[in-house]
Structures are given as structure tokens and as C-alpha cells.
């Protein structure tokens, strides 16, 4: 990776290196084969989003004639050229992984994609019936005569393009029609989302399947009985999703968002994927119909949409080909039989998901909805699950007469439609719904419950690094803090009321918020470590984030390194900081962990001369988070909670199984076990939590708890 500037790495190329690291898990023979298939699918889905958002945005800049370089010194056009080369290499690696490694391994284990020419008589007979009863009944071809009647296909959905000749065009001698005839016509068959991509075939054991597009190609003549089909090839269109929302003057943000979703469906094509077998005639037709050039064309040797393999990798069964289950553990901080209010009132609770269950957070909101002493619930919602118990609880709370205020972020990319539906349902139940904040995304994770108790009003607060999503809470590594600390409660209420009331919050007592002062707080904390180092004290900065992009923060970390401060960074994805550069960043280490759980927690620690200040945050250190989003930086002050969080974060820098080290040029090398005994941090964290549960259970077995008569 070569850039004009020696100081920063390019964010797009850094992200592509992260995605290569995801693909590396699919290439790792020590990973169970179904998990490898899942990582391959994730790397493909990641790439889809990269095209929708990042490539789409850069393409718009290039079309507008913008040549201003990014912090790494690259113009939009230069970035697109470098992205194109790296993406094509990445996709070659993906298909090599599938064909040369995973498909043969799966076939040996009884999971086999059957090519049409290898179908048995029984399978062919089944497929003929399946085609007639389902495929032929559901799908419908759409004739295309020119660009104007080319169908508006759903973004990233599969379709097949059919090239047809009338039977009257077939030479009388029976020879094949000319490839370059002008009498060809075309039809598009969108595959839609109702039919399974993987058609299960009869087999003696295991799983035999045929791809839907292959089944269509086998029987496509049934759609065109009086004509001759000369070509049937799959293709897939990716459209630009980086379409701006024009909030100024929008009287109804919901309607404006719905307009944006419609606009996104018809946005410019940024990528056309198709089979390597496609003819030049059909390529020309598709490129012309979509109004794009060959630079947007990507030909693949195998099944399109490798992301679709995720449904195959996660289907029930074949447990011997998957990771052992790591069941989320109960929190030993919460006594059996106690309500969440009793548990939080007795102590601050710190939960590390998914090693520890997300259930206490859900229970907290469910109990609040039904508790007659709860007066109000205030909550932010950014991304939620489809059948969200949390949203159902908020609806029930409103119906129970509680004052429910919810900030539903309609601008949460790719969750807009779901959030619109939830917002309307909440409003119908009587909740006060705020559709985000104008020109900003509300990305903070906060829930406040106001409860009347014998000694007065008490505020219970949940802060988190992840979304209120019960489904992803089993897959993402995140932190929850539940507290009834008076000052944090007061800050949370001030933050929430400012966000809903369109006002500037007063000075917080403990919290820091973006876009008001979060960056300044970070810079001040980094500066404090630098000053302590200059005074001869121990100084260390430890950070766990998803992304590090902001130039001002990176410069501050460079200054800390130059002052001799030890800086440890665990950055899952994009990192524009160059570690290990002499005279610039030789005291900075950047570790990346890719494993079975998605690393999503944002945790920050400053050594502070031996009195560490520990924070959790909703924000990555990116300009968009610090300038264009509403985010929170939350201190973890309870000694047990902060010590526990430090134990968690320190372990990430011991991993020598799933860790890679970022190099000054932006490449990454795998940390090997030659540096010590095998240490896999996610496994260690899970075992640590399991051990605490076992110890608690053992303690209960050795305690003598007398039965008491009622009333004594």
C-alpha cells in the first residue's frame, strides 16, 4: 500500500485489508469448514456494502469533478483506481477459496453442489416437478427492447439475462444461428426473494443442492416455447446507496426518508457482476442498458453473490462442521430472584456480551414497562431486531400510561424502513417519538428509567456500546453499564432532553458527548498522558475501537508516541494511523482480532499515573462520529466494574491465535504462537466468564441457608 503522504493510511484501502483478514478466516484450515464458509460469505457481504456506500460515494465525487485529496494524499479518482485493483484481487481470492478449498471439503463431508450434468435420474425428475410447480409459477420474464424498458431491479438481487432468437431466424439446415445477428432479443428474469437460492435435491445422505439460477437455465425454454434460447446467464447489479438526505425544509422526515429509499432503489449502478461465460453480445446489452462502462463490470467463475452462502452455512444440522456452541452466561453480579431495579440499586453492573447474556438489559426494559412505580422511560433506538422484545416493551409501557420518549434514528443506513415501521407503531401506542436530530445521526446507546421509590425519585440508566438488538447481541462483542449513579443519571436526562428539545445541553458532570465536546475531551485525555510522561510518571493509553480515522486524534496519538507514551490500539476495521514508524509512531502497536464474534465494543483507558480512567463509548474515532453524530463517552468509575473492564481489554493484546499486527505500510502480519503458548482472546474471555459462573454455583453449594418460618 503506497500513499503520497507518509502520515496517514487511506481509509478505503485500510478497510479492504480488514476484509482480507475476514477472508483469511475462510482460508484457515484450523477453522471448522462451515464456519469458513460463513466467513467467506461475510467477506462477500462486506464487499457489497463497500460498493454500495464507499465506491458509490467516491464515484459521485469523481463525477462532480472533485480532485481534492483525502488525508492520505489520494484524489477520488486515484482511490477508485487502487480500489479496483485490490477488489479484483480480493474477489479472485474469494473464488479460489470457494472452488479450490471449501467446495471440495464440503463435498467430502456430504454437503455438495450438484452441477446440472451430474444430476441423477431421480434428482432430474424431482427438479422437473419443482420447476413446474414453483419456479415456473412464481417467476416471470420481462422483455427488454431498449434501455428505457430495462426493469428496475432490487439492489444486489440476482437475475438472469436470457438471449433469444425466434425459430424463424434459425437456418433451415439446422446449423447454429450467427452470434452477431441483430435479430436477438433479450428478457430479464428477476429471481426475487421468495424462492430458495439452494434447491435441496433427493440424496442418500448429507445435503445435495442445485443453485436456483442453474435450475432456471436448465428449463428456461419453458418460458419461451416458440423461440430459441441461445444464452441464459446470471447477473447482479449493485447501486449507489450513498444518497444524501435533504433535511432542510422537510416537514415530514418520515416521508423524506421514504423518498430517499425510493431514490436509492433507482440509483446509479456502480457494479455489474456476471458469469465469465457471458457472451460479448450480452455484455454489451447489459452495459448499455445500465449506462455503465467496462470498469464497472466484474466477471466471476462461479456462483454470484457469495454472501448468499451464509444461509447455507447457518442452516440447522452439520454440527460437527461448526464451532462448538458458546452459550451466553448469566451474570454473577445479579442475585437469583432479584429484580433488575434491586440489582442495579445495590451496585453498578458491567456486562460483557455475548459472553454474558444480553437478557438483563432486555429484562430491565421489560420490568420497567410493567412496574407501576415507573413513571417514564427514555430511550434511543438505532438498530433493532425484527421481533424486538425491547420495542414491544416500550409499546406496552406507553399503553400502560407511562411517559415513553424514544429517539428513533431514521437515518440508520439500511435499517431505515424497519425504523420507520417501529416509529409509527410506537406513535400509535402513545409514545412520544423523535425522528432523530436534524443534520445529525443519534448513535448513542442510552436508556433511562425514572422510578418513584420510598425515598424519592430514582433514575436507572443503561449505557452501551452496541445497539438494542437482541439478535446481534449474541454475535457482537459489546459492553453494557447499568447504574443508578445520581450524576450519570442527571447527565443522561440532560443529554436526552437536549436531543429531543433541540437545545444545547448544559455542561455535563461526567459524560462527554459528540458533536459538542467529545473530540476535545479525547485530545485532553491524550494530552494528560503526555504531560505525565514528561513528568517522569508511567503513561499508557489503551484503546479498543472499530475504526480510527480522525486526523486530529491520530496526530495526538503520534505526539504521545513521540513523548514516550506506550499506546496500545485494538482496531477491528479501518485504521488510518501508521504504527511503528521511527520518529513518528514507534511506541504504537495496532492489533486486529477477527474471530467468531464481531468485535464491536469501544473501550478506552488512560493510565493516569496508576489511577486509570476507564470509559465505554458509542463512538469510533472517525470524523463522522465526532462531528456528525450524537455520541456518548461514559466513565466507568465503580472500582469493580473498571477493574473488570481493564481485565477484558488487556487480554486482547495477548492473543497469538486470531490476532494480526498492522504494519507501517498498511499490510498486516499474523501474530504467531512462537511468541508464547496459544492464546485466543475470545475463547479465554468465554472461559473466564464460565469459570466465574461455576465458582458462584460452587459457592452456593457450600453455603448453609436456613429455612425460616413465614413472618420471621
Helices (H), 276-339: 280-290, 309-313
Q: Which residue in 455, 458, 444 sits closest to 368, CA to CA?
A: 458
Q: Which residue in 618, 345, 289, 355 sits closest to 467, CA to CA?
A: 618
Distance CA 17, CA 1 (A): 10
Distance CA 471, CA 478 (A): 13
The strands making up 111-113's β-sheet, listed across from edge to edge, are 111-113, 207-211, 198-201
Q: Can you name the residues that pair with 456 across neighbouring β-strands?
A: 453
Q: Report in angstroms the alpha-carbon separations of 571 from 155, 243, 595.
A: 30, 28, 13
Q: Which H or E run includes 404? A: strand 403-408
Q: Report in angstroms the alpha-carbon separations of 295 from 14, 168, 287.
A: 22, 37, 10
Beta strand 403-408 with 374-381 is: parallel
Non-local CB neighbours of 78 within 8 Å, separated by 6+ positions: 69
Distance CA 145, CA 184 (A): 10
Q: Report in angstroms the alpha-carbon separations of 596 from 1, 111, 129, 143, 599.
A: 28, 22, 40, 45, 9
Which string of DSSP letters, residue by residue, matches 591-613? EEE-SSSEE---EEEE-GGGS-E
Q: Report in angstroms the alpha-carbon separations of 44 from 23, 40, 50, 104.
A: 9, 6, 10, 20
Q: Report in angstroms the alpha-carbon separations of 125 from 128, 144, 216.
A: 5, 32, 15
Non-local CB neighbours of 401 within 8 Å, separated by 6+ positions: none
The residue annotated as part of the active site, out of 300, 353, 443, 600, is 443
Non-local CB neighbours of 558 within 8 Å, separated by 6+ positions: 7, 577, 584, 585, 588
Q: Report in angstroms the alpha-carbon separations of 90 from 21, 64, 489.
A: 11, 28, 48
Q: Which three cell numbers stand for residue 303?
A: 456462483
Q: Which three cell numbers stand for residue 320?
A: 460437527
Give the single-character DSSP code of 361: H
Beta strand 629-635 with 613-617 is: antiparallel
**443 catalytic residue (yes or no):** yes
Q: Annotated catalytic sites, by residue?
A: 443
Amino acid at each position: 500500500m503506497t500513499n503520497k503522504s507518509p502520515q496517514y493510511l487511506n481509509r478505503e484501502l485500510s478497510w479492504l485489508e480488514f476484509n482480507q483478514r475476514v477472508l483469511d478466516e475462510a482460508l484457515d484450515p484450523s477453522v471448522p469448514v462451515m464456519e469458513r464458509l460463513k466467513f467467506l460469505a461475510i467477506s462477500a457481504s462486506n464487499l457489497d456494502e463497500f460498493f454500495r456506500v464507499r465506491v458509490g460515494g467516491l464515484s459521485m465525487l469523481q463525477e462532480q469533478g472533485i480532485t481534492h485529496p483525502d488525508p492520505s494524499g489520494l484524489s477520488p479518482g486515484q482511490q477508485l483506481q487502487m480500489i479496483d485493483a485490490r477488489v479484483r484481487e480480493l474477489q479472485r481470492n474469494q473464488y479460489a477459496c470457494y472452488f479450490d478449498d471449501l467446495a471440495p471439503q464440503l463435498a467430502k463431508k456430504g454437503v455438495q453442489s450438484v452441477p446440472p450434468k451430474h444430476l441423477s435420474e431421480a434428482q432430474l425428475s424431482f427438479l422437473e416437478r419443482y420447476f413446474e410447480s414453483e419456479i415456473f409459477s412464481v417467476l416471470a420474464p420481462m422483455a427488454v427492447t431498449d434501455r428505457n424498458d430495462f426493469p428496475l431491479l432490487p439492489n444486489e438481487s440476482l437475475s438472469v439475462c436470457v438471449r433469444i432468437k425466434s425459430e424463424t431466424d434459425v437456418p433451415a439446415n439446422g446449423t447454429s444461428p450467427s452470434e452477431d445477428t441483430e435479430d436477438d432479443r433479450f428478457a430479464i428474469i428477476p429471481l426475487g426473494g421468495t424462492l430458495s437460492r439452494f434447491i435441496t435435491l433427493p440424496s442418500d445422505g448429507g445435503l445435495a443442492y442445485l443453485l436456483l439460477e442453474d435450475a432456471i437455465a436448465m428449463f428456461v425454454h419453458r418460458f419461451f416455447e416458440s423461440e430459441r434460447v441461445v444464452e441464459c446467464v446470471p447477473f447482479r447489479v449493485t447501486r449507489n446507496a450513498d444518497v444524501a438526505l435533504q433535511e432542510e425544509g422537510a416537514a415530514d422526515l418520515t416521508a423524506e426518508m421514504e423518498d430517499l429509499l425510493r431514490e436509492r432503489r433507482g440509483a446509479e449502478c456502480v457494479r455489474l457482476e456476471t458469469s465469465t461465460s457471458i457472451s460479448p453480445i450480452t455484455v454489451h446489452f447489459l452495459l448499455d442498458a445500465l449506462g455503465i462502462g467496462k470498469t464497472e463490470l466484474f466477471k466471476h467463475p462461479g456462483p454470484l453473490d457469495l454472501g448468499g452462502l451464509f444461509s447455507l452455512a447457518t442452516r440447522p444440522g452439520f454440527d460437527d462442521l461448526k464451532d462448538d456452541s458458546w452459550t451466553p452466561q448469566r451474570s454473577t453480579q445479579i442475585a437469583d430472584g432479584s429484580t433488575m431495579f434491586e440489582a442495579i440499586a445495590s451496585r453498578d453492573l458491567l456486562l460483557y456480551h455475548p459472553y454474558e447474556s444480553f437478557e438483563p438489559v432486555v429484562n430491565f426494559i421489560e420490568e420497567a414497562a410493567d412496574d407501576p412505580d415507573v413513571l417514564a422511560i427514555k430511550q434511543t433506538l438505532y438498530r433493532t431486531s425484527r421481533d424486538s422484545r425491547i420495542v414491544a416493551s416500550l409499546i406496552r409501557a406507553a399503553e400502560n400510561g407511562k411517559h415513553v420518549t424514544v429517539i428513533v434514528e431514521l437515518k440508520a443506513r439500511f435499517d431505515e424502513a424497519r425504523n420507520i415501521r417501529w416509529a409509527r407503531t410506537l406513535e400509535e401506542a402513545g409514545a412520544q417519538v423523535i425522528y432523530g436530530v436534524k443534520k445529525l445521526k443519534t448513535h448513542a446507546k442510552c436508556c433511562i428509567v425514572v422510578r418513584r421509590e420510598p425515598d424519592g425519585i430514582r433514575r436507572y440508566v443503561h449505557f452501551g456500546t452496541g445497539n438494542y438488538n437482541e439478535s446481534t447481541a449474541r454475535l457482537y462483542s459489546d459492553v453494557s453499564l447499568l447504574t443508578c449513579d445520581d450524576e450519570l443519571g442527571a447527565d443522561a436526562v440532560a443529554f436526552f432532553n437536549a436531543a429531543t428539545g433541540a437545545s444545547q445541553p448544559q455542561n455535563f458532570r461526567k459524560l462527554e458527548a459528540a458533536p459538542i465536546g467529545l473530540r476535545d475531551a479525547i485530545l485532553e485525555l491524550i494530552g494528560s498522558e503526555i504531560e505525565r510522561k514528561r513528568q517522569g510518571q508511567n503513561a499508557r493509553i489503551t484503546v479498543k475501537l472499530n475504526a480510527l480515522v480522525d486526523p486530529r486524534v491520530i496526530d495526538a496519538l503520534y505526539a504521545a508516541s513521540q513523548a514516550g507514551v506506550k499506546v496500545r490500539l485494538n482496531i477491528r476495521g479501518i485504521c488510518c494511523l501508521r504504527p511503528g514508524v521511527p520518529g513518528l509512531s514507534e511506541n504504537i502497536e495496532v492489533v486486529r482480532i477477527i474471530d467468531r464474534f464481531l468485535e464491536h465494543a469501544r473501550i478506552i483507558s488512560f493510565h493516569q499515573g496508576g489511577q486509570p480512567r476507564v470509559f465505554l463509548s458509542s463512538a469510533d474515532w472517525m470524523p463522522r462520529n465526532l462531528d456528525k453524530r450524537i455520541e456518548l463517552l461514559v466513565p466507568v468509575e465503580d472500582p469493580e466494574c473498571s477493574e473488570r473492564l481493564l481485565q477484558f481489554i488487556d487480554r486482547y493484546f495477548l492473543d497469538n491465535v486470531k490476532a494480526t499486527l498492522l504494519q507501517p505500510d498498511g499490510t498486516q502480519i499474523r501474530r504467531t504462537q512462537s511468541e508464547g503458548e496459544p492464546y485466543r482472546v475470545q475463547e479465554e474471555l468465554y472461559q473466564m466468564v464460565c469459570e466465574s459462573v461455576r465458582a458462584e454455583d460452587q459457592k452456593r453449594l457450600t453455603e448453609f441457608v436456613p429455612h425460616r418460618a413465614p413472618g420471621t
